[in-house]
Amino acid sequence: MVTENRVRIQKLSRRLNIVAAALLYGLPVLTLLYWISFNYLPENLNVWASVPNQPISIQIGLQAFAAALVPLSPVLYGLINLRRWLGYLKDGTIFIEQTAQCLRSLGFALMFLIITNIIFDVLISLILTQDNGSHLGHYIELDIYLSDFFPLFLGGVIVLISRVIHEAVDLQQEQSLTI
């Protein structure tokens, strides 16, 4: 018997799955477009202090895109797992081992994001300063904010929820075997 709440879960998961799919396919394209059109963007979209009002070559733009794939990778991996989890919810299968595994992978992807963001900051500052026209040469720009730790915390919470679901699945299996 399908409850009203389960119908709402299925409907919302279907909608969120569409959004996650758009992000999964759109983020790499938008990232590439950002770096290819970097010279033509309004000044407020240039958040890199390394290149104030200085055009970058296509080669540097492509290198910057390659560097941007580092933090984009766990995001895309997380979106893939999110879509899988939402697919299970859409089908009405909530408490199964696969949903716990999807959530666990999503949580670890979020936690890994802080490391990839640090790697990206180092790479992008080196890439953007390789042709800066000054005699300073390369320099590393690294910014870490308190908000950068939120995905780490959220990822930990999601991993905890996955363990709770795993425990619920185990209890459900034990209960089905009990006479």
Query: Is the pLDDT confidence value at 156 over 90?
Result: yes
Q: How many CB atoms lie within 10 A of CB 107?
A: 23
Question: 127-156: buried (b, 16+ CB within 10 Å) or exposed (e) per residue?
Answer: bbbeebeeeeeeeeeeeeeeeeeebeeebe
Dist CA 28 CA 72 (whole Å):
8
Q: How many CA atoms lie within 13 A of 165 on its CB side?
A: 19
Residue 51 has pLDDT above 90, yes or no: no
Q: In whole numbers, what is the pLDDT of the chain averaged over residues?
A: 89
Whole-model pTM: value is: 0.87
CA angle 83–87–91, rounded 5-degree value: 170
Nearest to 95 by CA among 164, 155, 178: 164
The tens digit of pLDDT for each residue in 86-110 reads 999 999 898 899 999 999 999 999 9
Position 125 confidence tier, pLDDT thresholds 50, 70, 90: confident
User: Can you tell me the mean pLDDT for 55-65?
Assistant: 91
